[in-house]
Structure 1
Amino acid sequence: MHQSKFYRLIVDPEYRIGRHLFFIVTLGIITFNQVFIGYQESLAHLGGKIYLIGLLSFATYLLTTYVNYFVLIPKFLLRERYVTYVLSSVIFVFLLLCVGISMEYSIRTFLGLSHRIISYTNPLILVDSLSASAITIICFWSMCAVTLFRKWNTMNAHIMALEYKYLESEVNKLKGQVSPVILSKALQKAAYLANSDAQKSSQILMQLGQLLRYQLYECDREKVFLHSEITFIKQFLELKKLITDDPFDYHLEVKGNTNKAIISPLLVIVLLQSILVQAEVKQLDVVIEAVNKNIVFQCKFTDRITLADENRQDVMEKLDTLYPDLYALTVYGGSIELKLEVV
């Protein structure tokens, strides 16, 4: 996902030093401007001392804001102790306001300057000086907003990573979904026929090898061509025909251009083996049609057999993972139809 430079400046750790330098410079400009306004009637008398006063005021604000950033926010706000954080912030702002008034009184008294405040002991002086605390409130809130945004971004990235791992695991489970029952039966059948019918045993092993080769190599890809999947389905049905003890036959019909259509590997086979594993099907008719971006898969078998509810739910979960809102699955007694829109 493309991210703007402003977004990266706020979130990326590599810009951390730059963010702090920007904040310090901005805070310095605001603080010195506030000091110059507060002592504007005495600038001629103060001379270069005004910069020392500004530096002292800047250090006070900087210390307070970084105590908020490194202590209050991690200890209270990020731990969702919001009331404690608000109360602590109010106390800090109040203390900073008192410190500012005390500093101004001390500086003006020490340097023999006229006092712009008539009575420093009057409680109303705190109310009159609330505007001076706006800089602190802005700094506190800006730090809270940036910190919360970064926490939200981190949590969102973590959730997305978990979702991706979940989807990846589901896809990997789907890719390995060729029934171990059928594979095990194929090996047992090949071993049983090794002495009595070596040619058929060799055919079973070769067919099984082609299936496993497809799983190992082709299925490593996220998408495969439909004609490759059809070849795999045919090999799977041939293997089923070789290893079954009861009569089994199938008819596979392909319509449309399957050389351009692509789908997730081992998608259709889940439906086939859900039927073949749970019951002994004697006749299976499969039609696969590719029209533009749509793929239609139809499977007809014995009327008395249908897809079990647990198998149907499992198939639909996998389709929801790979093709959400892009498929339609219809199951009747003796038939299954899957319409899939590939993009």
Structure 2
Amino acid sequence: MSVQAPVVPDHDHFLRFIVDDKYSLYRRIAGVALLSLILTGGNTKQEFSDLTFFCLKMGGFLITLLLLYINIYVLIPKYLFRKKYIHYVIWVAVVIVLSFLVFAGLKEWLPSLRLKPGPVVKNEYLEDFISVVILLSILCAATMAIRLFQRWVKDGYRLTQLENIRMQTELDLLKSQVNPHFLFNMLNNSQVLIQTNPQKASEILIKLSDLLRYQLYDSSREKVLLSADIRFIAQLLTLEKVRRDYFDFNIEQEGTSRQLLIAPLLFVPFVENAVKHNIESVKGAFVELSFKLHEDVLIFKCRNSKAAGAIEMDPDQMGGLGLPNVQRRLELLFPDKHQLSIKDQNGVYEVHLILTL
């Protein structure tokens, strides 16, 4: 199973714009437009000609843009994302100081470009240094916050996707373990019946082929119709009835005609357990199943007879799969949406499972 790059859901338009690579050009355009608004300032005192003022503003804009690009594409990936925080702060400070020196150099050149002398300001360079540092620090912090947010969102979706893949792999493994061992017992019994009762052996093998076909092909899907899974269980119990002289079963259904999709072979371990521990040689052996679907709630019950005085069954070994594995599969498929109770008393073994779909 291949791991694909995380994709933000279509309905999260804002996150898609912020994170998705295909919108990177639009993000750059939006960033340039926003920076242009921030650096907007008029030549109100007409100290410079319009062309000179435009060139000065464009120079300041390009220097600021270069600083931000260095921060976004060099300093943040090289230092911040690698948790070299001190190195990152030092390099940001160095770049800001260098930017100020460039601005200061331009300012020394400005008097020769002025149309009229500007006002004399005390501590002019200190004020300029403070204003430049504050502005560039805010812009660097803003771009850093955006990059951290992008990384957080991408990592979150990547972890979610990896968790989904892990869960799906685990589910596939658990499902692959659902191999009713009595199907293989059927093959062994058929080998004996071929010599003693060929007609009965032929009937068993035909039914067994249908069961194995569903087991190998249909149940490989992520979900199947509930009615198909019930039909598989009915065929399985019918096959058991053909094999045994004293065995009976009943399947009660209510509301299952709905086209409901469900994980395949979900109930088979319980049915297998009922057959495995049923009475084979005494009259009155039975398995009773009930499937009741009410709106979004599915109630499953399984009852089977036990021999009087039989040793209490160990549910951890039920169905050849083990109760812990069955419970784990339920937890993955129906987290906080299932109730499972198992009773073993008075010659009857009973399973009660409620699923909120």
TM-score, L = length of structure 2: 0.80
| Partners of 2:286 and 2:111 in 1: CA distance | 99
Pick closer, same or farther for the CA change 1:132–1:266 going to 2, 3 Å: same
What secondary structure does 1:48 align onto?
A: helix
Greater RCO between the two (CA within 8 Å, min separation 6)?
2
Which residue does 1:157 correspond to in 2?
A: 157
Pick closer, same or farther for the CA change 1:296–1:274 going to 2, 3 Å: closer
1:58-116 CA distance string (max 9 Å, x none): 22111111111111011011222233323322332233223322321233256586455
- Pick which of 45-54 and 166-175 moved more: 166-175
Which residue does 2:247 correspond to in 1?
A: 249
Contact 1:190 1:204 in 2 (8 A): yes
| Partners of 2:59 and 2:237 in 1: CA distance | 84
- Find out whether 1:9 has 2:17 as its counterpart: yes
Contact 1:211 1:236 in 2 (8 A): yes
- Find out whether 1:298 has 2:298 as its counterpart: no
Contact 2:47 2:117 in 1 (8 A): no
Pick closer, same or farther for the CA change 1:261–1:233 going to 2, 3 Å: same
| Partners of 1:183 and 1:294 in 2: CA distance | 27
One-letter code of the match for 2:101? C
Contact 1:253 1:288 in 2 (8 A): yes
Q: Which runs of 4+ in 1 moved over 6 A?
A: none
| Partners of 2:339 and 2:34 in 1: CA distance | 58
Pick closer, same or farther for the CA change 1:336–1:93 going to 2, 3 Å: farther
| Count of matched residue positions in the alignment of Structure 1 and Structure 2 | 332
Which residue does 1:145 correspond to in 2?
A: 145
Deviation at 1:56, TM superposition (A): 1.6
Which consecutive residues of structure 2, in runs of 5 or more, have no partner in the other structure?
1-8
| Partners of 1:271 and 1:291 in 2: CA distance | 18
Deviation at 1:51, TM superposition (A): 1.3
Query: What does 1:130-209 align with in structure 2 at a 5 Å threshold?
Result: 130-179=130-179, 181-209=181-209
1:249-292 CA distance string (max 9 Å, x none): 24224142321273332111122224555x56533422314151
CA RMSD of aligned residues (A): 3.0
Which residue does 1:59 correspond to in 2?
A: 62
- Find out whether 1:330 has 2:341 as its counterpart: yes
One-letter code of the match for 2:197? D
One-letter code of the match for 2:103? G
- Pick which of 252-261 and 13-22 moved more: 252-261
Which residue does 1:236 correspond to in 2?
A: 236
Pick closer, same or farther for the CA change 1:170–1:47 going to 2, 3 Å: closer
What secondary structure does 2:312 align onto?
A: coil
Which residue does 1:86 correspond to in 2?
A: 89
Which consecutive residues of structure 1, in runs of 5 or more, have no partner in the other structure?
none
Which residue does 2:257 correspond to in 1?
A: 259
Contact 1:233 1:269 in 2 (8 A): yes
Which residue does 1:339 correspond to in 2?
A: 353
Contact 1:178 1:273 in 2 (8 A): no
Contact 1:174 1:266 in 2 (8 A): no
| Partners of 2:336 and 2:268 in 1: CA distance | 20
- Pick which of 53-62 and 300-309 moved more: 300-309
1:125-146 CA distance string (max 9 Å, x none): 4355423334322332232222
Deviation at 1:14, TM superposition (A): 1.3
TM-score, L = length of structure 1: 0.83
Pick closer, same or farther for the CA change 1:10–1:291 going to 2, 3 Å: closer
| Partners of 2:205 and 2:69 in 1: CA distance | 71
What secondary structure does 1:272 align onto?
A: helix
> Percent of counterpart pairs with the same letter?
25
One-letter code of the match for 1:144? M
Deviation at 1:184, TM superposition (A): 3.0
What secondary structure does 1:79 align onto?
A: coil
Which residue does 2:71 correspond to in 1?
A: 68
More helix by share: 1
Pick closer, same or farther for the CA change 1:145–1:178 going to 2, 3 Å: same
1:296-331 CA distance string (max 9 Å, x none): 313233253324336221111111111222222112
What secondary structure does 2:290 align onto?
A: strand
